[in-house]
Structure 1
Amino acid sequence: MGREFDQLFDEWASTYDETVSGIDPEYAEVFMHYEKILDAVSTKVSGYVLEYGVGTGNLTERLVNRAQKVIGIEPSAEMRNIARTKLGSVPVMDGDFFLIPTTNHPIDHIVSTYAFHHLTDQEKEKAIALYSSVLAPGGSIVFADTMFLTDEKKAETIQRADAADYKRLAEDLRTEYYTTIPYLQSLLEKHHFTSSFKQLNPYVWIMEAVKRS
């Protein structure tokens, strides 16, 4: 359920914000336009927002300026510690993409950046089905993450990483659960969402899925 990556993120937490700034050449394209990507997600939400994969709280800082209420979910203890220091009173809970916290108000939007690929394709469907059961018509999922138009495009990207001697990036692309846009579209359609996708850098697309009536 994505929690097999908790130790990795505990180890990465102290340098995560440096990495997303583009300091690491292997991941420079992955995090290209990072601030604009966060803005693109945050500007699509309001009301009551549930965020998965809070990390160090960079998206959350934007969400609290637009939403009435934000609840964060983060599986990494070290990431949670940093996020809680940044965010003050914003609740950041220990959990994964399948935790739906008890609230006194319906959730309007579910958001995430750079995290949904930690679920297998089967787990992605389980999560989307869960969100469909939680969101009212007009509610939405807004995720920004690395994804690919086709499996062939994914294979080409891995080959380019190998050719550039970006061993860590190539290994990530091989071992984590990056999926394709057509697959996500099929899941969203099956579970009563109308979806759109927009590419924001060579790796990352923003997915907006609105629950149908």
Structure 2
Amino acid sequence: MGREFIELFEEWSKSYDDTVDGHNLEYREVFSNYERILDSVVSRAHGHTIEFGVGTGNLTERLLNAGLTVTAVEPSPAMREKATFKLQNRTAIVDGDFFEFPKPEQVNSIVSTYAFHHLNDDEKAKAIAIYSQLLKSGGKIVFADTMYLTKEHHEQAILDAKASGFHSLANDLSTEFYTTIPFLEDLLKENGFTVSFDKCNSFVWIMEAEKL
């Protein structure tokens, strides 16, 4: 359920903000337009918002600045520590994941950036089913993450990373659970959502799903 990657996050917490700022050449394109991606996710959310995979709190900070109430969920202790310091206790950062999290009486939006790929497709289906029950009509799921039009596009991205000498990126693309847009589209429609996808860079799309 994504917690198998906690050890990676514990180490990455030390340099995460430098990476998203473009200082790591290997991941520069993955985080291209990072600020605009976060702002776009915030602009699509409303009301009481659950955020999964808070990391160092970059999206959380923007959600709070926009006046939203945020239930912030992060499984990595080191990331929670970084986010708590950055946010100066403006909201609690709770231990949890895409399945295990506090469930407020009213939830209007569920958001996440760069995290949903830590679930395999079966786990993604389980998570979406949970959110479908949690959200009422008009509620939204807004996830920004790496995803692909087809499996062939995913395979080509791995080959391109290897050809560029980006072996860590190639390994990530090979071992984490990046999925396809058609799979997500069918999954969301089956659970009572309308959905659209907007491309943000060569890797990342924003998936916006609204409950019917």
Q: What one-letter code is carried by the residue in structure 1 that aligns with 2:77? A: A
Partner SS, residue 43 of structure 1: helix
2:142–2:209 Cα contact (<8 Å) kept: yes
Q: Summarize the alignment of residues 53-202 of structure 1 with structure 2, pairs less than 5 Å apart.
A: 53-87=53-87, 88-103=89-104, 105-202=105-202
Do the aligned partners of 1:73 and 1:93 also contact (CA within 8 Å) in 2? yes
- State the secondary structure of the residue aligned to 1:194: strand
- What's the TM-score, normalizing by structure 1? 0.97
- Which digits, 9 at most, give the CA deviation of each residue in 1:166-202, with x for residues without a partner? 1000000000000000000010011001000000000
Residue correspondences, number: 211
Unpaired runs of 5+ residues, structure 1, are none
Helix, strand or coil for the counterpart of 2:157? helix
Distance across 2 between alignment mates of 1:89 and 1:165: 41
Contact 1:199 1:205 in 2 (8 A): yes
Instruction: Say if 1:94 and 1:100 are closer, same or farther in 2 by CA, change over 3 A.
Output: closer
Quote the Cα distance in structure 2 between the aligned partners of 1:102 and 1:30: 31
> What are the superposed Cα offsets for residues 49-107 of structure 1, whole Å, 9 maximum, x if unpaired?
0000000000001000224310100011000000011112311100110124142x400
Q: 1:11 matched to which residue of 2? A: 11
Matched-pair contact (CA < 8 Å) for 1:45–1:67: no
Q: Secondary structure at the match of 1:112?
A: strand
Structure 2 vs 1, CA of residues 26 and 168 (structure 1 numbering), >3 Å: closer, same or farther?
A: same
**Residue-by-residue CA offset, 1:145-178 (whole Å, 9 max, x unaligned):** 0000000001111110010111000000000000
Distance, in Å, in 2 between the alignment partners of 1:72 and 1:145 is: 18
Say whether the 8 Å CA contact 2:51–2:110 is kept in structure 1. yes
Give the distance between the partners of 1:189 and 1:130, measured in 2 at CA: 14
1:97 is paired with a residue whose SS is coil
Distance 1:194 1:56 in 2: 30
Q: Secondary structure at the match of 2:15?
A: helix
Partners in 1 of 2:165 and 2:15 — Cα distance?
Answer: 22
SS in 1 for 2:13: helix
Q: Is the 8 A contact 2:22 2:31 kept in 1?
A: yes
Between the aligned partners of 2:97 and 2:163, the Cα distance in structure 1 is 34
Preserved contact between residue 110 and residue 140 of structure 2 (Cα < 8 Å)? yes
> Normalising by structure 2, what TM-score?
0.98
C-alpha contact 2:73 2:101 (8 A) present in aligned 1: no
- Following superposition, the deviation at residue 45 of structure 1 comes to 1.3
- Name the aligned partner's letter for residue 92 of structure 2: P
**Runs of 4+ displaced beyond 6 Å:** none
